[in-house]
Amino acid sequence: MGFDNSGFLFGRETASVTKALLALDVTSAVVDEAIELGAELILSHHPLIFSPLKSVTDEKLLRLAQHQIGVISMHTNLDIAQGGVNDALMSALGAEVQGGLDEYGCGRVGRLGKAMPMEEFLPFCKAVLKTAGLRYYDSGRQVSQLAVMGGSGGDSLETAYRLGCDTYLTADIKYHQFLEA
């Protein structure tokens, strides 16, 4: 996707790799672990570098270079892939996937095995997703036709509505998008 920075983001293209570390984010702790394990590559979901890079002063970038550790980030790839982030969300919720949410194939639309009121769906989500809290709006309708978008999915809210979804589960939603829902 145009806003994303997926792919080979850091390191030498000709470097040999015998050991890689898989991580959600390239944090200082992940860099420490890669160094300790002797990994030559970190495969991450979220990009190491997301905004235009203007200088290299970040300690973790310097440590990656010093230890010759490359980074490949697969952000959009894992969101869109069959069996990826969004399919895993639907599976965890016990929903049958009926298709993609947007034109890129990001997000999923599906049906819960059993419709339930929001007051049952919320604790179910908290338990299944192992989260401390949820921000929600209860329209008073049963939760049955579901759309999910791992990560920032506010821009697909209207699409979920047009596709007949009564519930949309996403993260990183902006204030005005939440009010619109």
C-alpha pair distances (Å), 122 with each of 19, 78, 126, 145: 40, 26, 6, 15
Strand ranges across the sheet with 20-23? 7-10, 70-73, 41-44, 20-23
Q: The pTM is what?
A: 0.79
Domain ranges, ordered by start, for the chain: 7-78, 81-180
Q: Which two tokens stand for residue 64?
A: 């990656």
- Tens-place pLDDT, residues 4-17: 788 899 999 999 99
Mean pLDDT of all residues in 19-37: 95
- Tens-place pLDDT, residues 126-165: 999 999 889 898 989 999 999 999 888 888 999 999 999 9
DSSP state of 155: G
Are 118 and 144 a contacting pair, CB within 8 Å? Answer: no
Q: Which of 67, 11, 13 is nearest to 36 (CA)?
A: 67
d(CA 152, CA 173): 6
CATH number of the 7-78 domain = 3.40.1390.30
Quickly name the fold that domain 81-180 has. Answer: 3.40.1390
Q: What is the mean pLDDT of the chain?
A: 90
Secondary element (H or E) of residue 160:
helix 157-162
- Tens-place pLDDT, residues 101-129: 988 888 999 999 999 999 999 999 999 99
C-alpha pair distances (Å), 100 with each of 11, 105, 106: 34, 5, 6
